[in-house]
Structure 1
């Protein structure tokens, strides 16, 4: 049962659509109804919603409305049931005068989507107007000398109805002298007159009172009457006679005042004063004709004296008379038919009926934007209107029905390229010269979320010093969105990932509105050298769009770790080294080894022997960078049996950090030294091995110096490239730049993995140490040669960044040469 109901409903919908399609194909979308004039309020006209194929339940939601061109509310639609009914009194004669076809044209407009239907309601005539004569009483003066069958023209009655309701028949009250004469011909008028059947005798019957009755053909019949007062005159036998009963002439509208319309002429067979004729319009001619035309009493010239407008009246019917000067006066009659010719004196009229604005930028082609109506009061070619659209763009005009055009989207639009269009619709008629009219239409384009936020760079590099305070602002990301309103509101968030065994959000955070990136905890270069993550930018559109940018945060090292002395000299108690009194100058008696947890410049260690209080000349020295303690002269008895050496180990950080190591040296005889100092024996034994390893170390130092030189050259090239581009804000967008979030003191930064520097075992062993080539001036030299080198380096200290880098390269090469 439910299935059959659904099937029946679908069948009815299919039939409705077929009916609507058939009506549209036959009448370009027009529906025709008819209703009698003077119908009562609420009279049913038609089921307009059903006939147009619209669902009754959607009339309100789709903004169903009906528009009449003359803005009169003769008809109305009940949106609850879709029935068209009579809303106010309709007088056909007031609406259409005597036009044979009288219709009310309605425009039915619905939105979502925009549709336009044209409905024609024909107003049927009823017999509601009786025949009317111009005068209630008409006086006729007829000489008694008139012969039988003389015709005396009468003005007939008029009926405002049309068709059979306006077909009039006349009857004359019974009398002995006159009968009615009605001539049927192919002309536009049917002359009416009295025909004399019996001769008049003024002495016997000086006056006659007759009643002329006009009856229309309607049901029920309506009548109108006029009293004919006939006065029988004596004397003048012949009335003037026009050359034609009916004169026809064509007259262009807007003819100038004084323009000759035509010339009428009449003659009178009498002689003397009885043949002198005076021309005039009939007494019952309307005031409208008298305001537009005049006739010369002497020569019969009919001229224009008022405004002739084709749109006001297409023709004029003028009754003219020729009256002689006899006693009694005789009158002749004629009719002048003036046909007004149209000229192109009315420009087209353009009106925008409906607008669907703004237009979403993702609207499909073919979307109807506006309905435009055009009209021209002229007729024929002068009233044929064509429309054009300017400037050229994504919109076109499509003719829909008669004088209606639709503004249609012809190609896609993009709000980010053009946010609005100012269009001009130009209507031209077909007259000569061409008349035109314009209407402006402003079409705004509504934004849709079709653009994702965009960063200027895909990657930013940031430098941050370690041990930064929590909450430090290190960078600002910024993305732009060309959309509008909420579609352009950008918010930022971290793309969560894990850094080691901790989430990224425990290290950094980003402000959702400003895009500022903050650190949440102090960063430790020894624990984390490089932090890589992504920030996502989302807009507030629906659906939201997003894009990501990558950040590389390099954690710069600070000198926050002091050097640590390695065993065996790391304890509190000094280690005793046995030294023979007969050792040669330069003999290595001990070696201090130390490491620094920092990297680069901060991990570069130097060794310095602190002088002992009260001792003038110590026979030992320590290598500035090797930590080897060696003899500087031959041992003497004055040196005593025991020497306490205090070695200071410090880095090159700012400020420098240091540690100390204490070495106890005991002078013994040669054999005892060999037996008591196995370490020295081993050192002596390994001297041969050191000679072999020296060659290998030379090659290693050369390789390290080459790599350092390449690194310095790379840094020089990078600095040159950075100096050649325009400077940018530290936190602003742009090309990838080096950014220091705190005072670094130098732009150089070693991107190599930090390496701890420490001293190895064995005599004459050369320690290798990897560090950034920022060599400070050597401090605390212990011999003359080192002091001279330190003095020369200090004097040649570079004054700018480029000189500093060249200085570091030269110092590195010199160090490699010294080590070799």
Structure 2
């Protein structure tokens, strides 16, 4: 017979405790009607072999209700062996998870007690081990067995939302059922037991604009909303356990839902007519005024494009959109004139830059307004009829000749009289202007060859308001007249050979003319006097060629011939000039090469014949060689003096001489002082050779050979090196003499203490 003693204590008189008691009773019923209870596996195997065995441990699964207030040990279950006769011979031992701290056992009876309040969410179960031994011998009566004590859940935890805070964005005017977001809450109670962890979601605030699915927590749009009316909603969501029944615990969270903008509004002008004004002196591009259309949308949905409709005076103005303020900036496209037109009318249209296809059929994306622009009169300076004036006058015009006129007008209605003047510069002094009618005249003679153009600046000033001045450039071109005769283009060096034949060309000549005729130059050439030696032939291309007319020319009889040539231009009246061509006679040799005459002609012009030129050349060469040798010798000696160091002589030649104003002549003669320092007696060198021929003889190749000349140079160098009376190269000349009679005194620093310092070289 199955004997199970289960005692359950119910200290909490709540509905949950009664439900637990009924459940435990339901679990015990099978044991009441059963002839067998839980036994260890070994005993079950013996039973299968139809062997009568002893009973083993006897217990059921033990449950403990959480959150019970424990003031004294609370009985929760019973352990018993079927061998126990309740005579005190058995001893029960409890070990494992929570033994002696959370749970304890009665050693004699096997009753299990809980010692403190338990929390299922902290630890849902405990695994323990039970053992029964003979209290007298200590020998185990039953094998050690493991059992579990489970903590029974009660609804002691409220739901909690995760991933807070909740923020969502949904486009305005979204249709019903549009998904917004999903919220999620969790409950720490046992979801496998009862309804403590089963949640239901609901909206406490936010209807009728939003709805929520009770089981999933998905928030959806319940009605269309306009951002321009309200752009942000705070929806309060509740999560409640126990499937929302009475007694369930709940929590709330706030979902911030912002409506994003869609382009469902078009621009609207605040006024239907705008009045603006601008000065008539305004330049192209100046701002006339601004207009703005209001768009209730934001961001790119509120961006506006302004255009001027092609009606009225649309081409006089332009409009652009300010990207920051979204204003329409109207600017001047053409110059305006108060005297011509005083008011302009335009129509401006405002259009959304971007469109939303859902609302494009509503025709809400443009608006039009009228603008009246008034022109304001200003006192303007005079205006010249032309932006620049180009005038012409001949260079032979007399002083006071009329060049041309400039004209300026007062653009205002008053039409004030104009006064003209010239801003003078170095060129404007050649011209004058009538202050009343603007006529320009010459004040000095003009010369095209000096300045072909003259640039002047003319001003126009209102007589009634002198501060209004206008300027205009005037360009005056000086026209050419034939006032210069042609001349040789260069100086010619012409030669003729003594053995020339008649008809040979000896020189081609050309001419230049400072004038600049419109049809170009054409020069004609002729001889001023008839001659039997030469003739001139016009080549037809502004050049002419000189030809010989006889076969023999003599240098001894007539070395130079002067040929006078007349050059005429083709202007009206024609001008001509006489030019003299010098022709030299030279010996061209048997081959008749006239190029050799050029060198002879150059020497002849200097009065030097061929032999003298050779002698001079040889002399210059000898002087050059001697100079090089003396330089090398002096350099070598200077290097030796540097090596000797202190043996080098230091010579100081001091002249205390400073200019003394008007009585400067009382100073010492510096040249005399210097010559006096180096003065020495002339010495006769007996080694000087007297048999050196002259340079002329050397030019004729009659001088000494190279060996003799080298000996001569060596003797001269030796004499220079052995003459100790010559000053050393490292000599300082110091002048510090100040003359008397200067009214201003001396400004020199030579008389200071520094001038008496000893100089070391």
Q: What is the TM-score with the length of structure 1 in the denominator?
A: 0.34
Higher relative CO (Cα under 8 Å, sequence separation at least 6) belongs to: 1
Larger radius of gyration: 2
Q: What is the TM-score with the length of structure 2 in the denominator?
A: 0.36
